[in-house]
């Protein structure tokens, strides 16, 4: 077979198979694979592999380092995923439940100067169960490791240790670990576990997210059963995100300060301090801050929105609004769109302002 001289990249093929690219891009893929046997074969192999992974995930049998795209697709398909975040040097106790099909631990760190990572999984007795060595992570900011629910049920106490390998210049080596215990469906929380969960929830992160200040009041990995995430936002006048859809999460807005104009589908309404609004998943929505500034809470589950905010943020150097960035460049719009899609968020229209 003659090899394709301009093959469709893997991300585009994956997005086409998952139905997560635009109609125009989908039409381009179809036009190409119709005349290119090489890329058509690659698409068939990708579909077969993805189908097998989804089948294994539904059966609670998938284990190893996985990409965000697969994790988001599994979540949208209704696979029960338990998710926790780790930071360098951190050790986090976790809880898993019998209905969890996949247990995912994410290591959040700037890996742009790192070529690869390794991890080791051990039992509670310290005996090694599995490892992944020198996994490439070019330009990444996180690594996700999934453990099959069937393994979690059989070995109810385990430990995952992350460490850096083959780091680039100026990168300090570190490790991070997590351990878990299987919990009954209705767990009784001991005073010690309650203290651990309280400490986790009260480790607030302050982030500059685009032109806003975001404070993570309750992180998705805060130890709750349902993975609730509570973010506090502060935004300047006229702040307005593009019209968008959350594929995996409902989103609750509670206004603390200011006046807001919301659009949900084709309807518009005004909210002021003390009012609350639910925007269901898969429904287009946006808002605009009509007052000098606005402050509000968002409440979501599953963690996709919080992970998106973290992916697009930088640490806040103070608790004020960041300097205004001005009109976004085409490159910035493209980066926002592509990053949002990774976390189950589709941009479908312009901002209100």
**Residues 238 and 301 grouped into a single domain:** yes
**Residues 217 and 272 grouped into a single domain:** yes
In a domain, 33, yes or no: yes
Dig out the tokens for 352 from the structure. Answer: 């209100």
**Residues 133 and 46 grouped into a single domain:** no
When pLDDT is cut at 50, 70 and 90, the band that residue 157 belongs to is low
Number of domains in the chain: 3
d(CA 204, CA 329): 31
189, 174 contact by CB (below 8 A): no
Residue where one domain finishes, among candidates 188, 220, 235:
188
More confident residue, 345 or 143: 345
In a domain, 199, yes or no: no
In a domain, 4, yes or no: no
**Residues 183 and 292 grouped into a single domain:** no
When pLDDT is cut at 50, 70 and 90, the band that residue 69 belongs to is low
d(CA 73, CA 215): 28
Beta strands in 4-125 (DSSP E): 64-65, 81-86, 91-96, 102-108, 114-123
CATH, residue 289: 2.60.120.10
**Residues 213 and 338 grouped into a single domain:** yes
Residue where one domain finishes, among candidates 139, 160, 188:
188
Dig out the tokens for 175 from the structure. Answer: 């490790």
**Residues 262 and 339 grouped into a single domain:** yes
Q: Domain range for residue 256?
A: 205-347
When pLDDT is cut at 50, 70 and 90, the band that residue 11 belongs to is confident
Give the range with max mean pLDDT: 40-44, 84-88, 180-184, 200-204.
40-44
Q: Which residues contact 99 (CB under 8 A, 6 or more apart)?
A: 80, 185
């Amino acid at each position: 077979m003659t090899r394709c001289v301009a093959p469709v990249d893997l991300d585009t093929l994956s997005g086409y198979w998952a139905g997560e690219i635009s109609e125009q891009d989908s039409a381009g893929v179809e036009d190409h694979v119709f005349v290119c046997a090489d890329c058509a074969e690659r698409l068939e192999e990708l579909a077969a592999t993805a189908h097998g992974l989804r089948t294994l995930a539904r059966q609670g049998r998938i284990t190893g380092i996985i990409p965000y795209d697969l994790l988001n697709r599994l979540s949208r398909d209704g696979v029960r995923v338990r998710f926790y975040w780790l930071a360098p040097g951190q050790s986090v106790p976790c809880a898993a439940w019998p209905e969890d099909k996949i247990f995912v631990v994410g290591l959040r760190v700037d890996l742009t100067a790192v070529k690869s990572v390794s991890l080791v999984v051990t039992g509670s007795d310290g005996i090694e169960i599995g490892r992944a060595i020198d996994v490439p992570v070019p330009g990444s900011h996180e690594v996700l490791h999934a453990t099959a629910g069937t393994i979690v049920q059989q070995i109810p106490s385990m430990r995952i240790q992350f460490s850096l390998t083959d780091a680039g210049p100026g990168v300090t080596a570190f490790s991070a670990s997590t351990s878990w215990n299987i919990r009954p469906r209705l767990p009784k929380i001991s005073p010690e576990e309650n203290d651990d969960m309280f400490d986790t929830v009260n480790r607030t992160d302050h982030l500059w997210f685009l032109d806003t200040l975001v404070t993570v009041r309750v992180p998705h990995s805060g130890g709750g059963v349902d993975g609730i995430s509570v973010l506090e936002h502060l935004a300047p006048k006229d702040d307005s995100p593009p019209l968008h859809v959350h594929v995996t999460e409902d989103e609750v807005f509670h206004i603390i300060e200011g006046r807001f104009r919301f659009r949900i589908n084709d309807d518009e309404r005004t909210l002021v301090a003390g009012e609350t609004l639910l925007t269901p998943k898969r429904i287009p929505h946006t808002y605009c801050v009509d007052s000098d500034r606005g402050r509000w809470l968002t409440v979501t589950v599953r963690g996709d929105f919080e992970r998106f905010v973290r992916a697009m943020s930088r640490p806040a150097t103070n608790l004020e609004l960041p300097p205004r960035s001005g009109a976004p460049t085409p490159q910035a719009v493209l980066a926002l769109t592509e990053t949002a899609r990774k976390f189950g968020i589709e941009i479908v229209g312009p901002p209100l302002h």
